[in-house]
Amino acid sequence: MQRPALSLRLVAREIVAVATVLATAAVTAQSHLVVPPLAATAEANGVEFWAAGPFSARRQVVLDASWLQAAVGRGFTAIAVRRNQGTADDQVAGRLLLDIDLAHASTAPPNASGSFAANRGPNATNVFAGLVAFPAAPAAPTTPAPWQAPYAVTIPFTTPFAYRGGPLVVETVTRPLSGPSGQNPWWPIDAVIGASTGSVRSVGWGCLAAGTEPAAGAELGSVSLGATAVFWLRGQMQAGPATCLLGGDNRSYQGLPLPLDLTVIGMPGCVLYNDIATAVPSLLTPWPLRPDTLATVEVPVPQDAALAGASLFAQWLVPNIGGRAIRLETSNGVEAVIGALPANPGAAWIEGIGPYAIRGRVLHDRCPVLRLDYWP
Amino acid sequence: MTIARRSPDEGSRFRIQPDPPVAGKAAEVTYLGPAREVEWQVDDGTSVQAQPDANGKFQIDPVPSGRSLMLSDNLGLPGYLQSRIQETFR
C-alpha cells in the first residue's frame, strides 16, 4: 500500500509542478487593473490591514463596476497588495491563513449590506485557500511601492474567476496562526480613506456609580449614510445587561422637556437626554486584564439622503445590582450627526470579527489598494 | 521588534514603540482599524482621546508613570492592547 501511495504523491507533485509552470506562463501574459483607479500611479492617502491583519476577521470589499470595466468578459487570476509608503516603517514578516472568495455582487457599493451573504450574488467562487507568507519589507525606494516582492504580495488564484461585469465582491477570511511558528505579520497596506462626514459629541453627564466619564460614545467614522453606526459604553461596571436608549430628538420626551431630571422617579443625579425612540438591549462583557466592561450596539443607517445632517441620540441605562437592591443608572448622552455618503465611495467595506461572522460593520469611507490580474 | 499581543493566537490593531513604553518618554502608537478616534489610559487615570493621522499614528508624549498603558478603539478585542510601562530609574 505504501508504494502506490508514494507514486501517487509523486505524480501529484509533477502535476502541481506542471500547473505552476503553466500558471507562471499565464502570469506573464496577464493584464491587471488597480482599484481604486487613482492609486494605479500614486500612493493612496491612508493605510489599512485589510486581509493582512494579525487578527481573525471576515471582510468584504464591494467594488464599483466602473473600476473593473477592463476585465469584463475576462477571468481574474490573482490579487496583490502593496505596502504602505506613508511611513518608512519596516513591514514585519509573518504568515497567516487566508480564504478568498470572489462573487458578482448583488448590489452596488452604496447599498451594500452588513450581511455577507446578502452582498454575494451569483457565481461565488473560492479562488484561494491556504497559507500566505508576508515578507519583511523595508520602505520601497520609490513611491508608491512597486508591485514586486518584498514590497508587494501577490496571491495567485487556484481557481480563476470568470468576470461578467457589474460590482464585484472580494471576500476574505483571515486566520492568524498560533504557536511559536505563527508569528503574525504586521503588514500595513496602502489604502484610500476618506474624511469623516459625520460628527460625534458627548452630552451632559451620567450617574454611573462606577467608571470614568464620559463612559458612552460613538465611533466617528461609522456615522454616515449606508454605514453601521456603533455606539459604545465602557467603564468599570458589572458585567451584565445594559440598554442603549436611542432617540431622534433631544428637546422633549413624551411632552416633558429634555434634559429631564430623573430624581423624581428614584434615580437621583440621573438625567435623560433623548426621547427614547427605541431601546436596544446589549451586554456589558469583561475586557481582558482590566476591570472594565464594554457594551456596543450597531445601528444600520439607511442609505437615505434625507437623513444626512440628522442627529441620532444615544444614552445607556445600566442596572447596578448591589445586595438586594437594583439601582438604575444612566450614562452621559451622545449626539451623532449623520454624515453624507461620500460623493463616489466606489467601494463598501464590511468587517466582522472572527472567521465565522455572518454580519459585519459597513463603512463607505475606505478601500484597500488592490491589483487584480486577469486574462488578457 | 516586539509586537505586543493579547494572546498567542490573536493580534491587535495597535502597535506601540518603544515596546514596552517608557515612563517619561515619548511613545509612538500605530493604529490600523476602522475607528477615527481611539483612546488611551494609564491605570485608572483619565481616558485620553486621540485621532490617529492618515498613517494611523499618534504620539503619547510623555508616557505617564504607572503600571500599564491601555489602548482601545472600543470596537472589540482586536481593538484593545495593554502594555506594561517601563519605569526609568535615576
Q: Residue A234: which of A242, A246, A226, A222 has the closest Cα?
A: A242
Question: Measured between CB atoms, which of A55, A89, A217 is closest to B78?
Answer: A55
Across the interface, of B12, B47, B54, the residue whose CB is closest to A86 is B54
Rounded distance between C-alpha atoms, residue B43 and residue B69, angstroms: 7
Per the CB < 8 Å rule, is A92 touching B3?
Answer: yes
pTM: 0.86
Checking if the pLDDT of A99 tops 80, the result is: yes
Q: Which chain A residue has its CA at the smallest distance from B70's CA?
A: A290
A115 pLDDT higher than 90: yes
Question: Is A351 touching B (CB cutoff 8 A)?
Answer: yes
Least confident of A145-149, A371-375, B10-14: B10-14
- Residue A234 in grid coordinates: 465602557
Per-residue confidence (pLDDT) for residue A260, from 0 to 100: 97
* A116 secondary structure, DSSP code: H
Say what percent of chain A tops pLDDT 90.
Answer: 76
Chain B positions in Cβ-Cβ contact with residue A90 (cut-off 8 Å) = 1
Which residues on chain A are in Cβ contact (under 8 Å) with B57? 87
Instruction: Please give, rounded to a whole number of angstroms, the shortest distance from the CA of B70 to a CA of chain A.
Output: 9
Taken as a whole, chain A contains a residue count of: 376
Q: How far is the C-alpha of B54 from the C-alpha of A193, rounded, in Å? A: 8
Cell numbers found for residue A189:
497596506
Three-state DSSP class for A70?
helix
Least CB-CB distance to B74: which of A86, A179, A217? Answer: A217
Of A310, A290, A282, the C-alpha closest to A216 is: A282
pLDDT of A10 > 70? The answer is no
Q: Is A44 exposed, middle or buried (0-12, 13-18, 19+ CB in 10 A)?
A: buried
pLDDT tens, A311-368? 999 999 999 887 778 889 999 999 999 999 876 679 999 999 889 999 999 999 999 9
Q: Judge whether B15 is closer than 8 Å to chain A, CB to CB.
A: yes
Note the pLDDT of residue A104: 98
- Mean pLDDT along residues A228-252: 94
pLDDT at A180: 59
- Residue A224 makes CB contacts below 8 A (sequence gap 6+) with A196, A197, A198, A301, A338, A339, A340, A341, A342, A364, A365
> CA-CA distances (angstroms) from residue B50 to A46, A191, A204, A220?
17, 21, 21, 12
Distance from CA of A55 to the nearest CA of B (A): 5
DSSP code per residue over A135-172 = PPB---SSSSPPSSTTTEEEEEEEEEEE--SS-EEEEE
Q: For A96-120, what is the mean pLDDT?
A: 96
Asked if A188 and B80 come within 8 Å (Cβ–Cβ), the reply is no
Alpha-carbon distance B75 to nearest alpha carbon in chain A (angstroms): 8
> What are the residues whose beta carbons fall under 8 Å from the beta carbon of B71, sequence distance 6 or more?
B14, B16, B29, B31, B38, B39, B40, B80, B81, B82, B83
Q: Which of residues 280-339 of A touch B (CB under 8 A)?
A: 287-290, 294, 296
Local structure of A123: helix, strand or coil: coil
Looking at residue A179, its pLDDT comes to 65
> Which among A30-34, A81-85, A300-304, B50-54 has the top mean pLDDT?
A81-85
Q: Quick check: A9 contacting B, CB < 8 Å? A: no
- The answer to whether the CB atoms of B82 and A289 lie below 8 A apart is yes
**pLDDT band at A11; cut points 50, 70, 90:** very low
Burial A297-306 (b: 16+ CB within 10 A, else e): bbbebebeee
Element (H, E) at A3: helix A2-28
Q: Give residue for cell 462573487.
A: A103
Name the nearest CA neighbour of A286 among A242, A238, A334. Answer: A238
Q: Are A274 and A331 in contact (CB under 8 A)?
A: no
How far apart are the C-alpha atoms of A116 and A169, rounded to whole Å? 10
Does A179 contact B6 at a Cβ distance shorter than 8 Å?
A: no
Other C-beta atoms within 10 Å of A111: how many?
15
A27 residue type, one letter: V
A45 inside 8 A of chain B by CB: yes
Residue B90 reports pLDDT greater than 80:
no
What does pLDDT average to over chain A? 89
Chain A environment of B35 (Cβ under 8 Å): 219-221
CB A157 within 8 A of CB A100: yes
Say what the pLDDT of residue A15 is: 39
Mean pLDDT of B58-80: 92
Are the C-beta atoms of residues A362 and A349 closer than 8 Å to each other? yes
Instruction: Determine the pLDDT at residue A211.
Output: 60
Is A47 in Cβ contact with B56 (below 8 Å)? yes
Are A95 and A182 in contact, with CB atoms under 8 Å apart? yes
If one compares A213 and A192, the residue with the highest pLDDT of the two is A192
Q: Which amino acid is at B75?
A: L
